[in-house]
Structure 1
Amino acid sequence: MPDPVTLRYLTLHPTDVAAVPDLDDADFDRQLADEAARLFDHEGWTERKSWHGGIVDTFILPHECVTYDPALSSGQSGPSPTGKAGEEGILWHKRVSQFKASEHGGYDVWYDAMGDRHIEQEEEYVDNLVNVIDVGKDAGKEGCYCKLYKLPFGATDRSFMAHCRVVTPSSLSTEESNEQGDKSASSKKPEGESASESSDGLREFLVFSLPITTSTDVKEEKKYVRGTQATVERVRELEGGTIEWSCASLSTPGGNIPVKLSESKMANSLADAVPSVLAWMNRAHPPGASHIKSGTYTADTPANAQKPARLRQTQDAANPGGGMGLMPAGRFTLEMFQKEVPLRDY
């Protein structure tokens, strides 16, 4: 059995919203990124299962492989993620999926979909997420929300208080080098390189959802039972044009649901999230969307098959090419018809 990983931030001990680190706290982000890496890469993950035709693999991390030492609250250290005796059976669950960038989009497309405006876009692809309330506004804290979920008939609706933040580990390394005053040429970021690009050229970002609590009641939460959840998602580039999307989650639904019952459904729940997100991405962020934004969209980019280019009319003339006033976007440019052509004498 490998040595247990000690988790200080990825626990089920809620942090008071007033004590939540600010979004520009780079040191906190570095500690989060390091803890997530140790969790994802731990050798103790077991009980591998494949779902949806092999699109998703799920794993469980036995409780012997984790110990908790909460850093942001006065919770009790030990093997229980909540600090309560008898809740050692609340386990970490992980899912892993790998996709070809040519089929489901490259890193930039995934960041636009999962990293940028994460909460706003989450409301688009999580069907039972019915409301998100900003609970950090009064305390001057960004990224703190109460999320309300509608459950099937017969089950009480659930709410979760979450502190959400997006972290790009390699950009933190760059900031740390700058803080140490390393101004050598080798430490400078090459021109045009992404801030989230690592030394081997492969990029990744992490999305954290950490449990919080507030001293005041949220009126919209009145008829909901509050659960507690800690989740981290990792999207990273691999060699060969592959994108890996992983999610590790630890949660308790609250109420009177037995731990064994909720744990038995975790793997299935994690796996079922993947197809719906892919379907949403295909609509909202087609694989070639980054080409459109960068101005390099052409008829043979992957997005063309997913979302055919609209016809457009040139601004300077309705008919610059002799009957070719309407042209597929990106295939021809106006400049092609404005070049001077030398005349020959006959």
Structure 2
Amino acid sequence: MLNITPIKPTDIPNDDQVMSAADEVLASTLEWAPGKTFHGNVKTCSRPKAPGEGAAWHCRVSIHKTEEVTFDKLWEKLGKDKAVNEKEFIPDINKVTKVKEISPTQMIWTLHYKFSPPISPRVFTVVQITRLSESSPRTGTVVSIPIDLSEDPELAKLEEKGVRGRYVSVERITELEDGTIEWRMATSSTPGGSIPTYFVEKSMDGKIAEDVPHFMAWYRREVAKI
């Protein structure tokens, strides 16, 4: 279920199926090959693609004190309109569109990425499934699955123009016993087009690690406005 092969709108699994698959992916990251640590506190790990998968998997993990951000505030930014907020702290994203709200926990988004030449703009369209669990330890999970809208013209016309890329991701924040928060994200992706796979895989750990300091800097600016 969780791979870069896009699903159709009529084949979106239910929340329980998605979260069960997400649990498996995140549990498996504990056994992935460790990679570099970036920005002082963002650890990475990865595993090669398995048979039937289109790309390798990469993971980043960071721990945050409540002085940086609370569980509730982090979930507010990641669990609600995540794509809209990502546009604010990920420099490459220049436009996002909510294609369809299927339910309060399932939404289809299309994200338009603009890069420096000669790399062409990329479009990633995903269905995002969210779940907040108040049981101890509290967790918030966001799963993004690539989706193909070509069979639904009304939805497809909302997509931006660009090379079609694909990514699947599982993102979870966990409130630990000492009050700190673990922010863990695992992803598999392909940018599409003619970018060499070797180049993409080599730079992936550093690229996903950048999202953490980008988010924290944006969050501090948001707090300063209050």
- TM-score bracket for the superposition, by shorter chain length: 0.7 to 0.9
Match of 1:218 in 2: 157
Whether the 8 Å CA contact 1:51–1:57 is kept in 2: the answer is yes
Write the deviation string for residues 193-247 of structure 1: whole angstroms up to 9, x where unpaired: xxx222xx3200111111001123537633x101110011110111111100011
Task: Please report the TM-score for the alignment, with normalisation by the length of structure 1.
Answer: 0.59
Map 1:165-184 onto structure 2 (within 5 A): 165-168=129-132
The one of 6, 9, 16 aligned to 1:30: 16
Whether the 8 Å CA contact 1:17–1:136 is kept in 2: the answer is no
Match of 1:154 in 2: 118
CA distance in 1, matches of 2:158, 2:70: 41
CA distance in 2, matches of 1:32, 1:19: 12
Runs of at least 4 residues off by over 6 Å:
none
Whether the 8 Å CA contact 1:209–1:230 is kept in 2: the answer is yes
Q: Secondary structure at the match of 2:24?
A: helix
Aligned positions, number: 219
Larger relative contact order (Cα-Cα within 8 Å, sequence gap ≥ 6): 2
Root mean square deviation, CA, Å: 2.1
**Post-superposition shift, 1:81?**
1.7
CA distance in 1, matches of 2:99, 2:12: 12
Match of 2:8 in 1: 16
Write the deviation string for residues 64-100 of structure 1: whole angstroms up to 9, x where unpaired: xx4xxxxxxxxxxxx1324xxxxxxx21000000011
Q: Secondary structure at the match of 1:247?
A: strand
Match of 2:31 in 1: 44
**Post-superposition shift, 1:128?**
2.1
Unaligned runs of 5+ in 1: 1-8, 22-27, 67-78, 83-89, 169-195, 287-305, 310-346
CA distance in 2, matches of 1:148, 1:91: 23
The one of 219, 231, 249 aligned to 2:169: 231
**Post-superposition shift, 1:48?**
2.4
Unaligned runs of 5+ in 2: none
Aligned residue type for 1:81: E
Task: Please report the TM-score for the alignment, with normalisation by the length of structure 2.
Answer: 0.88
Aligned residue type for 1:152: S
Structure (1 or 2) with the larger CA radius of gyration? 1
**1:145 equivalent in alignment to 2:112:** no
Aligned-residue sequence identity (percent) comes to: 34
CA distance in 1, matches of 2:112, 2:20: 30
Match of 1:5 in 2: none
**1:112 equivalent in alignment to 2:49:** no
CA distance in 2, matches of 1:249, 1:145: 17
**Post-superposition shift, 1:250?**
0.2
**1:127 equivalent in alignment to 2:65:** no
Q: Secondary structure at the match of 1:265?
A: helix
Aligned in 2, Cα 1:161/1:152: closer, same or farther, shift over 3 Å? same
